[in-house]
Amino acid sequence: MLELVELTKVYPGATAPVVALDRVSLTVGRGEIFGVIGRSGAGKSTLIRCINLLERPTSGTVRVDGQDLASLDTRALNAARRDIGMVFQHFNLLSSRTAFDNVALPLEIAGRKPAEIAPRVAELLELVGLADEARRYPAQLSGGQKQRVGIARALANRPKVLLCDEATSALDPETTIQILDLVADINRRLGVTVVLITHEMNVVRRIAGKVAVLERGRMLESGAVYDVFTRPQSETTRSFVAETVGYSLPAALRATASRHPGVGAATLLRVDLTDAAAREPLVSELSRRFALDLNIVAGRIDEIQGRPFGSLAMIAAGKPDCIETAIGHLRQRNVHVEVLGHVPADDRPAA
């Protein structure tokens, strides 16, 4: 549906040229919700703006539904843009128009007749749950309502692709969830392909099926959301993961363990829980099979797309070679285990 090949964008910049995108390639399938996550300045907005050519790529190609937009003349480009809806962080609604007339704008631009426009707008406002607010001006709407108008407007010309540039970043957490669920619902009902960019892990986690991680214009990794976040390849991805399932160990414990690396009679372990590990009675199994006492000191378990995902920190006490075997056993079953150090009996902080 959407194909970016070796996309590069260089801005002139005030002093030196800024490479906002560095040979980014990715493919988004029809009907997918594709998330692009990255810190501020990573090049996310540039990426999404290159898709509808609000920004001209320096090199590389963008194909939407097989069509290379850069090859089109102005007229054809404008027509192609009607097949790509866009939702903005700051809504970008016309303050001089009511909710109704804002949603009507793309239809007017496409040259639709008023008789066609009115029922279509009513239908769209109904879809986003704003039928009662049609006559209100943006200044009279809440942030969440404004974004609903923005979404209705983006869908007006029945686009094949919906681009969301930080669509929830100006909203509070509760409203964020409502808007994300609306986007997911629209994706399901209308089959529209969604590309959403964000700096928030929770946004991707909630609705995206696939994700690409962007940093300084480079794509670090991409794939199914569950895979990318359960097996992060880069520090950046790990830091995003830590935002949702992160926890901090008691500082004293952490300090002690780091002074005594390796396995000892009481070893501090971090065990990542993914599908396999989280479904099984891991703790009791280890305890029984390897004669260990397991004391969970910190942890967090969450879900990505209904699949468990998290991490536990525990102190395993027992014979050091039994602990080694237990670690080997876990690793053999593809459970990620990290030995954070051990805690000698005379150096054990009061728990």
Partner 1 sequence: MSRQMIDLLLEALAETLAMVGAAGAVAIAAGLPLGVLLLISGKGHILENRPVNVVAGALVNAVRSTPFIILLVAIVPLTRLIAGTSIGTQAAIVPLSIAATPFVARLFEAAMREVDPGLIHAAQAMGATRLQIVLKVLIPEARPGLMAAATVMLIGLIGYSAMAGAIGGGGLGDLGVRYGYQRFLPEVMAAVVVVLIVLVQAVQSLGDTLVRRYSRR
Would you tell me which residues interact with partner 1 (CB under 8 A)?
A: 52, 54, 74, 77-82, 84-86, 88, 90, 92, 94-97, 105-106, 108-110, 137-139, 157, 163
Nearer of residues 133 and 165 to Mg ion, judged by Cβ: 165
Binding residue (CB under 6 A) for ligand ADP from 6, 13, 275, 319: 13
Phi, psi (rounded to 5 degrees) for 86: -135, 135
Task: Say which entry of partner 1, ligand ADP, Mg ion, none residue 92 contacts (CB below 5 to 8 A, set by partner kind).
Answer: partner 1
Strand partners, 312: 271, 299
Query: Contact with ligand ADP (CB under 6 A): which of 43, 85, 232, 318?
Result: 43
Q: Is 46 in the site for Mg ion (CB under 5 A)?
A: no
SS3 93: coil
Our CB check for ligand ADP shows the closer of 41 and 299 to be 41
Which residue(s) pair with 210 in the sheet? 34, 224
Q: Which of residues 214-233 bind ligand ADP (CB under 6 A)?
A: none
Tokens of 52: 């509808």
Residue 87 exposed, middle or buried by CB count within 10 Å (0-12, 13-18, 19+): buried
How far is C-alpha 231 from the geometric centre of its chain's CA atoms?
15
Q: Is 40 in the site for ligand ADP (CB under 6 A)?
A: yes
Name which of ligand ADP, Mg ion, partner 1, none residue 178 binds, using a CB cut-off of 5 to 8 Å depending on partner kind.
Answer: none
Q: Which residues of 99-132 are buried (b: 16+ CB within 10 A; e: fewer)?
A: bbbbbbbbbeeeeeeeeebeebbeebbebbebee
* Residue 45 lies near Mg ion (rule: CB under 5 A): yes
44 belongs to the binding site for ligand ADP (CB under 6 A): yes
Binding-site partner at residue 41 among ligand ADP, partner 1, Mg ion, none, CB < 5 to 8 Å by type:
ligand ADP
Residue written as tokens 């190609």? 61
Quote the least distance from Cβ 74 to ligand ADP, whole Å. Answer: 21
Q: Please report whether residue 206 would count as binding ligand ADP according to CB under 6 A.
A: no
For the bound state, the minimum distance from the C-beta of residue 150 to ligand ADP, rounded and expressed in Å, comes to 18
Contact between 295 and 317 under an 8 Å Cβ cutoff? The reply is yes
Does position 56 bind ligand ADP by CB under 6 A?
no
As a whole number of angstroms, the distance between CA 79 and CA 96 comes to 25
Q: Select from 4, 7, 33, 46 the one that contacts ligand ADP (CB under 6 A).
A: 46
Q: How far apart are CA 81 and CA 52, in angstroms?
A: 6
As measured in angstroms, the least distance from the Cβ of 9 to Mg ion is 13
- Cα 162 to the chain's mean position, in Å? 15
Instruction: Using CB under 6 A, pick the residue from 5, 23, 41, 170 that binds ligand ADP.
Output: 41
CB of 45 to ligand ADP, least distance (A): 3
To 5 degrees, how large is the angle CA 6–CA 9–CA 14? 155
Handedness of CA 257, 262, 266, 272 (dihedral sign): positive
Closer residue to ligand ADP (CB): 103 or 196: 196
198 binds Mg ion (CB under 5 A): no
Nearest to ligand ADP of 41, 223 (CB atom) = 41
User: Residue 38 interacts with ligand ADP (CB under 6 A)?
Assistant: yes
Beginning with the edge strand found earlier in the chain, give each strand of the sheet holding 337-342 in spatial order: 293-304, 307-317, 266-273, 337-342
For binding to Mg ion (CB under 5 A), which residues are involved?
A: 45
For binding to ligand ADP (CB under 6 A), which residues are involved?
A: 11, 13, 18, 20, 38, 40-46
